[in-house]
Structure 1
Amino acid sequence: MRILNLASRAVVTIAASVLALGCSAAADPAVEANIKKVVEPRLGPGVKIDSVKETPYGGLYEVRAAGDILYTDKKGEYLIIGHVYNAKTAEDLTKLRVDEINKVKFSELPFEMALKTVKGDGKRVIAVFEDPNCGYCKRFRQTTLKEIDNVTVYTFLYNILSEDSTVKSKNIWCSADRNKAWDEWMVNGKAAPAAPANCTTPNEKVFALGQKLRISGTPSIFFADGSRIPGAADSKALEAKFATIK
């Protein structure tokens, strides 16, 4: 969980196993207002509650904040940090909800700010946020993407690891052939030449987009259905994910 520094009131940390029936429903406005008033100050500096929903299990209320989910009672006296499972199917209901609320509108991503690579027929599409200093990103590009065909890859240069990441991204973006410069660096370790002083990049806009999408690590892979996989998925996992997308 990214929500930390919970205050001194009673906090219960569990991974609950319950049978879920139905979906979450919007909380009564008065209950929602009270939970926000009581719980929000305990979630840490600057953390705001996005929504409160009544769940069909155990009288719990789902509290959504900072891209995460936790649970509380009607009065906001207890906080439950953990995952709720369907006891019959072992389905992780909390993960399903987190995946749902973190989906993006893929078609609305600003692809003009990304590198574009097409392999084969390019029918399958992903967007990947990568840092040029990210070892896992290099491994993803050196192995996974080499083994995958018929895919279009949009790469957003998301500089979060160091100031040097921004410099490397600018040099790559300002190269005569951006895609070649990116592959030369990520695959072969050959740095791009210094960018002209007057060359502009979308670095700051991509960083702002990544923060808005709550991307906290690289690589982060987004699919056409809006779902995401954090981390350097291997080709088997990527193919499995593609198979679930209509």
Structure 2
Amino acid sequence: MKKLITFLSAASILLASSSAFSAADSNAAIKSKLLNLGLEASKIIDSPMPGLKEVTTNRGIFYTSADGQFFIAGRLFDINNGMKNLTENAMNELRINGVESFKDSMIVYPAKNEKYKITVFTDTTCGYCRKLHGQMSEYNDLGITVQYLAFPRGGLNSRSFYDIQSVWCADDQQKAMTASKNGESVKPANCSAPISAHYELGQAAGVNGTPAIVLDDGTMIPGYKPPSDLIQLLAQ
């Protein structure tokens, strides 16, 4: 009996090790194949749909078969739960974690009597980014704190990248942001501000244009929202 128990224990350990190796091997295969598509996978888990992997990448969330042969770019819905958008739920979590990771490198315009907080991926040149910034006092007066992450629309190493980097590297970031949004020149500056990392988070979070507003629950609102419209949405 003792030998049998020992054998069963050894077999269980071997089986568990084999499963772990198999899962790791499968994830490695998925990462390798996605790299060929220009996608860097940072997280691979079982999706709510059996047999399908949910893959978090530098360009958002996608799905693959367990061996990485089949690739799905689209949304996954749960019909039995009111067409719940499972992909968007996963994206919300990605945005929440991303915003939290950059909480110390944002430019913040706090409301004195804060009721809500929004995070805005912004660029210094886009018209609606400038319009939003021009109404900052109205947002703040409604109890909305606005915190900025950088999203240079021209991409990395573009003119917009260096312009917004200069804002983040200025001694007075708020003053520099306002000046830049007013079309004024900001003294060129270079520092360790994580502009590239902000931009990469935006791409992973599904930002396709600016401004892009992220709420506390991870919901993303693309485009500009007037203060009166935004406060109604936040109050729902």
For the aligned pair, the TM-score class normalised by the smaller chain equals 0.5 to 0.7
Pair 1:205-2:183 in alignment: no
Normalising by structure 2, report the TM-score.
0.65
Gaps of 5+ in 2: 1-18
What letter matches 1:104 in structure 2?
N
The aligned amino acid for 2:148 is T
Question: Contact between 2:150 and 2:198, CA under 8 Å: does it hold in 1?
Answer: no
Task: Give matches, 1:26-37, under 5 Å.
Answer: 29-37=21-29
Q: What is the number of equivalent residue pairs in this alignment?
A: 208
Structure-to-structure mapping, 1:21-170, within 5 angstroms: 29-37=21-29, 40-44=32-36, 47-88=39-80, 89-104=82-97, 106=99, 109-111=102-104, 113-142=105-134, 146=138, 149-161=142-154, 162-163=158-159, 166-167=162-163, 170=166
**Separation in 1 of the partners of 2:163 and 2:71?**
43
Give 3-state SS (helix, strand or coil) of 2:110's partner. Answer: strand
8 Å CA contact 1:63–1:69 kept in 2: the answer is: yes
Contact 2:129 2:224 in 1 (8 A): no
Query: Hey, what does 1:232 align to over in structure 2?
Result: 223
Larger radius of gyration: 2
**Offset from partner CA, 1:13-61 (integer Å, 9 cap, x none):** xxxxxxxxxxxxxx96514522531563255355333333223425322
Is the Cα contact below 8 Å between 2:61 and 2:87 reproduced in 1?
Answer: yes
State the identity as a percent: 19
Structure 1 residue 132 displacement after superposition: 0.9
Aligned equivalents of 1:103, 1:143: Cα separation in 2? 25
